[in-house]
Amino acid sequence: MAVGSLAAAEATARLALIASLSETDIEWVTDYWSTIRAENKLVQYRLALAEGVPVPKTCVVADPADIDPALGDVIVMKPLGLGEFRDAGEPLAIHARLVERHDPVLAGLHVAPFIAQQRIIARKHLRVVTVGTQAWTAQLDARNLPLDWRQSATAHTSWTPAAIPAVEAMAMVVARSIRARYTSQDWIMDDDGKSWFIDGNPGGQWLFLPDEVADPVTGAIADWLSA
């Protein structure tokens, strides 16, 4: 929205109200300031690494020449800020993508800092949802899918329930570290069976997941609110 517009003034007032309510005795699933902090990928990675949670090697650069050689010749590029924007009113999304280190597309990335990350070849995508002290997992076969599975329409309805206690335990560690009592986390499992934390969302979606995951998540949130 345009800076200085009426819409911007209205939005700012609403955000100021929400922020001030976070300082009262109202209890939130995740309070406003923790949500803002938890949405920062670099904060997530730093806290996850401190707890021994596997995270792909990551660096943040504004100049492609500064990309760490340890990331290899093919890197994963991600936006550091919001991945959604509008161009002439059209909603667009910036997806994670694979780029070779000498790809000419990198020459146009001097506008803002971005995330460059080690490529982990995924065998499975995992979506781990945490509510309080509980966690549920759904899995998606990563074969024949783009790096960012959201770009595939069929992937949204192809998830199956899974029980992976080790990953769920690490997901709970991440959730506690970022002080979020609800998270929707993305993990990947490689060919060796090792699972890697990719990122977490303190307000992420869960209803697209199979009923065996979505229903107990919904129930846990309802139980928390009714208590």
67 CB-side CA count, 13 A: 24
CA distance 115 to 62: 9
What is the predicted pLDDT for the residue at 79? 80
62 against 183, higher pLDDT: 183
CA distance 217 to 224: 11
Query: DSSP 3-state assignment of 134?
Result: strand
Residue-wise pLDDT tens digits, 116-159: 899 999 999 999 999 999 999 999 999 888 888 888 889 899 99
CA distance 174 to 52: 10
* φ, ψ for residue 201, nearest 5 deg: -130, 120
Residue-wise pLDDT tens digits, 178-196: 999 999 999 999 999 999 9
Whole-model pTM: value is 0.86
DSSP letters spanning 69-121: GGG-SEEEEEESS-SEEEETTEEEE---EEEETT-GGGGG--SS-EEEEE---
Query: Can you list the domains of the chain with their CATH numbers?
Result: 32-55+121-226 (3.30.470.20), 58-118 (no CATH)
User: Quick one: tokens of 116?
Assistant: 């460059």
DSSP letters spanning 42-78: HHHHHHHHHTT-----EEEESSGGGS-GGG-SEEEEE
Q: State the pLDDT confidence band at 27, using cuts at 50, 70 and 90.
A: confident
Average pLDDT of span 148-171: 93
Query: DSSP 3-state assignment of 34?
Result: helix
Average pLDDT of span 28-45: 91
CA distance 160 to 142: 12
Per-residue pLDDT for 106 more than 80?
A: no
The mean pLDDT value of the chain amounts to 89
CA distance 62 to 88: 26
* φ, ψ for residue 158, nearest 5 deg: -110, 10
**Those residues with Cβ within 8 angstroms of residue 92's Cβ, 6 or more apart along the chain or in another chain:** 84, 85, 86
CA distance 111 to 116: 15
